[in-house]
Structure 1
């Protein structure tokens, strides 16, 4: 997603004469629009996660998950969502709102197929407990990002570097098969995506003032939902390594 600067609200100077009701009305309208904008993002995100969960459970219960656990199909369902994320991110300005919506829902379905394999490894009860723990943590972190007066923009580069480090460490561990490295990656993964949840929420809030009333806002809502979806799912998967009970 493209970065937009957060324009600072002009402060009324000392000794100036306020316009009767003007500033209050403007602020109220802005706040109402911001709440509607953020609610749209959360609705898209929650709907995407719900769709992913339904697809994952149906696929696991049907037995199709076994075909996604190994072989060529494993790589197809694992890499296809990644390809969609890159296409949406780099083609955001080019694609229409309808195209981005279709890609988002397609991404959610493919993620459901990919995540169906966790039901082959972990018990349904432990998956549910981890999901609700993640939902609670996500809600708290997103609320912090929305309400804090602290500028979190400085976290961005550090957190992105952390994600790159996680990917590199995970690839290395495919060959090393180190349990200690696996636990270290999982612990850092939880922390990094927790930080990204707060950071992305504040970033989306700040972007609103730049895109409100423009055709770009609908696209930003979809891309914002995608970002928060990815924060949630990654935090869930890393937490699952700690909280998941493996099947006998």
Structure 2
């Protein structure tokens, strides 16, 4: 009986250690993601400000009364450089998984900061298209929805790992639909894509949160702090992508255009 009590006490201590470690791990995931969001927001706001000028001789491209596209704005939004701005963040996402194996935890974190800055540059055009109020309003709606979905994914006892393949297929279908509508330019199809996009990334928010939690619990006993550090950054990237995409699709639905 004494041996059984000793084993049970040891298991209880180990469970408490894992719980404490999990909380620290999730705090790091959310903290890293939040800093990435801040970098993205500041980069987008700064570039959008530099892309607009009151000088009509800068490029001759009028945005609205009294505001014109600056030379930097023309380079980013109206020249072949725009494809670099659009595709560079996408390329970095695909390369991140391969780079993660070679990078240290500090290197992976720096990689994520750079990526977040590039996303901010690519998203800066929203300040030229949508009103500032609608951007802030949509961001707050996204933040509330994200917090609720992520909390549910973290606390639910239901195993939602089976959602993964369905949601990934949904993302692929969404990309195909967006490519098709790039040629068709159908407002009805664009609206449907935005609605479906919100639902898909809402599901991914809950799924990724539970997956991050499960991954930590499965590997916590190894005690590899370097691996756990990189896993936290990968988790932050996953949730960051969920938030950004949900925000973009909601902005297309709720945003008021200039």
TM-score (norm 2): 0.86
Contact 1:49–1:108, Cα closer than 8 Å, also in 2: yes
Residue aligning to 2:84: 76
Superposed, 1:118-197 pairs within 5 Å as 118-197=126-205
Of 197-206 and 173-182, deviating more is: 173-182
2:217 equivalent among 209, 221, 227: 209
Segments of structure 1 that go 5 or more residues without pairing to the other structure are 1-15
Residue aligning to 1:47: 35
Cα distance, 1:59 vs structure 2: 1.0
Q: Deviations over 1:87-130 (max 9, x none)?
A: 11233222222321221111011011111100010000100000
CA distance in 1 between partners of 2:85 and 2:5 (Å): 59
Alignment of 1:234 onto 2:229? no
Q: Deviations over 1:39-74 (max 9, x none)?
A: 000000000001100111111112244532232121
CA distance in 2 between partners of 1:101 and 1:242 (Å): 33
Q: Deviations over 1:154-182 (max 9, x none)?
A: 00000000000010000001111111110
CA distance in 2 between partners of 1:98 and 1:230 (Å): 20
Aligned residues: 232
Residue aligning to 1:36: 24
TM-score (norm 1): 0.90
Contact 1:130–1:243, Cα closer than 8 Å, also in 2: yes
CA distance in 2 between partners of 1:200 and 1:33 (Å): 18
SS in 1 for 2:160: coil
Of 38-47 and 53-62, deviating more is: 53-62
Q: Deviations over 1:157-208 (max 9, x none)?
A: 0000000001000000111111111011100000000000000000000000
Residue aligning to 1:12: none
Residue aligning to 1:5: none
Residue aligning to 1:13: none
SS in 1 for 2:5: coil
Cα distance, 1:17 vs structure 2: 3.1
Cα distance, 1:27 vs structure 2: 1.7
Q: Looking at CA atoms only, which structure, 1 or 2, has the larger radius of gyration?
A: 2
CA distance in 2 between partners of 1:39 and 1:32 (Å): 11
Cα distance, 1:80 vs structure 2: 0.5
RMSD (CA atoms): 1.4
- In the TM superposition, structure 1's runs of 4+ consecutive aligned residues that sit over 6 Å from their partners are none
